[in-house]
Homo-oligomer: A and B are copies of this chain.
């Protein structure tokens, strides 16, 4: 059951940069995930924060393996899953059959517009405004869940003339 606030407006939040070069924050695993703290989960959280846009589990795995070469892919999948269910990460669609995730600190309910060229993300409004929900209810429907995935190209990728 999502929040149903209308949020109009699309604003760029995160220009992409290579995640391996910096670690801007050091989030404690307790900050995003319930249960025990482990160095692996902390590394995965750090990796997620280091990405400035949408990323796949594979990309996150590569990033984390630079700090811990022996970390298993199942561990990263498990950590991502925990972070998603705890709201630290959001699923924002897919790229070439790989699920895309995003660290978004904006608590206002909204969706994301992902640049298919570089992963840069913009905010997008939620389609489920009060009007839509009322009309669904008038027909006897109760909405329980929704996914909105929007893809496009950012200014930089348009300039570079990236395909797709």
Contact = CB atoms under 8 A, between A and B. Distances in A.
Interface of A: 8-12, 93, 111, 113, 115-116, 122, 124-128, 131-132, 135-136, 138-156, 158, 164
B140 A111 contact: no
A152 to B, nearest CB: 4
Nearest to A158: B142
Question: Copies of this chain, how many?
Answer: 2
Nearest to A121: B141
A32 to B, nearest CB: 26
Given A122-B136, A136-B10, A136-B122, A128 B150 contact: yes
Nearest to A153: B142
A15 to B, nearest CB: 11
Nearest to A150: B146
A146 B144 contact: no
